[in-house]
């Protein structure tokens, strides 16, 4: 399967944290990443200014790769994060 857009890119796990607030946004993200194998991709849906800044920054600081950040039509930010390893 060859993806053509970020939205269609293959991912191994999906997490919707659109109803969470910081710091729970990254706590839930980290728990999901901890349950994944190195190299797997997490598709993450989030909303709000603070999570938009903090989740990608914290994931990168922990060694994970933010592959893309795409704005959905409903105002949700969709991130693809590859687990380090």
The CA-to-CA distance between both ends of the chain, in Å, stands at: 23
Q: How far is CA 63 from the centre of its chain?
A: 13
Rounded to an integer, the average pLDDT of 2-27 is 79
pLDDT higher at 24 or 3: 24
Domain assignments of the chain as residue spans, ordered by start: 13-82
Residues designated catalytic: 22
Q: Is the pLDDT of residue 13 over 60?
A: yes
What is d(CA 36, CA 34) in angstroms, rounded to the nearest whole number? 6
In the three-class reduction of DSSP (H, G, I as helix; E, B as strand; rest coil), residue 14 is classed as strand
CATH fold, domain 13-82, is: Translation Initiation Factor IF3 (3.30.110)
21 CB-contact burial (10 Å; exposed 0-12 / middle 13-18 / buried 19+): exposed
**pLDDT tens figures, 26-85:** 999 999 999 999 999 999 999 999 999 999 999 999 999 999 999 998 989 999 999 998
Task: Provide the CB-side half-sphere exposure for 70 (13 A, CA).
Answer: 14
């Amino acid at each position: 399967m060859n993806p053509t857009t970020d939205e269609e890119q293959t991912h191994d796990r999906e997490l919707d944290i659109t109803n969470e607030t910081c710091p729970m946004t990254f706590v839930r993200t980290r728990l999901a990443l901890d349950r994944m194998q190195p190299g797997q991709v997490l598709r993450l849906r989030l909303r709000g200014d603070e999570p938009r800044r903090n989740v990608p920054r914290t994931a990168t600081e922990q060694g994970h790769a933010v592959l893309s950040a795409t704005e959905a039509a409903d105002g949700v930010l969709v991130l693809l994060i590859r687990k380090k390893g």
